[in-house]
Amino acid sequence: MSGHAFLAVDLTTQERHALSAALQDASPGSPVPGKRQPPENWHLTLRFLGETSVTTGEVLLREIEEAVDLAPGRVKGVGLGVFPRPARASVLYVRIDDPTELLTRLAARCEAAARDVGFTPEERPFVPHLTLSRLRPAQDLRGLLDTFGDFDVAIAVTGVTLFRTRRSRSRLWYEAIDTVDLVGVGS
């Protein structure tokens, strides 16, 4: 598997359109700054993996299938946020409202499976989000965050997808390798 791999919740075409429309409606008029992610690349990252072989990816998906006993659910995109802080933002993202902590529990199970397969533990705490753009160099986005409206877009959480990053001369895209569906009822 060439390229970096990651585990994520994929969005449907309908969810991408709804989120695009909500972002446009909530915008104070200025374009989203930075290098924007095209809607076809939008996803909710659960665990970044880095360079991963096909075999390791297959083993990881089997581990996840055994570890994930969660039922499908819904979360909501509700507004904008930034990493690491508004005065020096390097990532602009959609904040995700996860009241049942479904994504947090799912990310924890993916983290445990990744460790079981031999990945180094993730050091950063999990924050449910959808990356909109990356800013190089970092920018002060306090004004944008103050004027950008909130919104409410439902996103179904129905599975964990293994993606790999693909690159051509003109673009970057994420290829879905396989998905483990959520079918359980555990917590």
Catalytic residue numbers read 43, 129
Helix, strand and coil content of the chain, in percent to the nearest 5, comes to 30, 40, 30
The helix or strand, by DSSP H or E, that contains position 109, with its residue range, turns out to be helix 102-117
b/e map 140-169, b = 16+ CB within 10 Å: ebeebeeebeebebebbbbbbbbbbeeeee
Q: Which of 74, 91, 88 has its CA nearest to residue 18? A: 74
Q: Which of 16, 53, 30, 1 has its CA nearest to residue 146? A: 30
Contact between 160 and 106 under an 8 Å Cβ cutoff? The reply is yes
Q: Is 86 helix (H, G, I), strand (E, B) or coil?
A: helix
